[in-house]
Amino acid sequence: MSRADGVQDSVPEAGSPSCPAGVPVHVGIIMDGNGRWATSRKLPRVEGHRRGVEALRRCVRSAREIGIRFLTIYSFSSENWSRPVSEISELMGLLRRFLRHDLAELHAANVRVRIIGERASLSRDLSAMLDEAEALTAANTGLTLVVAFNYGSRQEIAEAAARLAAEVAAGTLRPEEITADLLGSRLLTAGIPDPDLIIRTSGEQRLSNFLLWQAAYAELVFLPIYWPDFDHAALLGALQEYARRDRRFGGLTARTGS
């Protein structure tokens, strides 16, 4: 896949030495059910979010062990601002603590961190922490952890289209030169392969404005467990379901590559 600057990124193919056979290159996860997990145990919703961070730590470790190359997590959507102010404040605090306490460990484990989403509305200190996480880990070559924070896929696509429209207006691009690949190169995920598998916990069966363009040919696996209960076994179960699927990408013959 080409980046917006035209440089061709090297993306591992499934079955290559850096990506074990049968393991998807890119897994996206909609981490759903923290609040319901807490409510079902008569605990404050914030406790569900705290346990959700623990599940995220487990998931990142498991992804590294299994050989997944890209892991994209839906941590906070642009629609989540409608939640109670106290809950939003706690979620922001959890992100700050995760970055402070886990960034050094992620860096030591050769994990690259990328953040996708709108940052202009974030507080200055949080935006600076996100910038630091990306800068510190930019040269790492292991798992790429993509954090979709304050992210909405429709807005991402609209902004990519606007950038192309501006280029046409400036005379640097002709309308007939616009292709799906070109628009994809203007998305926030430029340089990252499209997800092979998207997992959603909590039993809900929708994408909720997550990677809508990128998920065109992704396999979808919906798990009937809340996110705080997600563990290595749950990830393996989702990968086993993925391995049973025939991925034809619109053709007649199944393709094993990602």
Q: Coil, strand, or helix at residue 200?
A: strand
Tell the residue number behind the tokens 């690259």, with chain if given: 112
CA–CA separation, 223 vs 225, rounded Å? Answer: 6
Q: What is the largest CA-CA distance in the chain?
A: 60
Active-site choice (5, 32, 131, 196): 32
Dihedral of CA atoms 224, 225, 231, 233 in degrees, nearest 10, equals -40
Q: Do 18 and 213 meet the contact criterion of CB atoms below 8 Å apart?
A: no
Active-site choice (34, 80, 102, 209): 80
Structure letter (DSSP) for residue 9: P
Concerning whether 80 is annotated as a catalytic residue, the answer is: yes
Concerning whether 34 is annotated as a catalytic residue, the answer is: no
Q: Is 114 exposed, middle or buried (0-12, 13-18, 19+ CB in 10 A)?
A: buried
Extended beta strands in 83-230, E state: 112-116, 144-151, 197-200, 219-222
Secondary structure percentages of the chain, helix, strand, coil, to 5: 45, 15, 40
Q: What are the residue numbers of the active site?
A: 32, 80
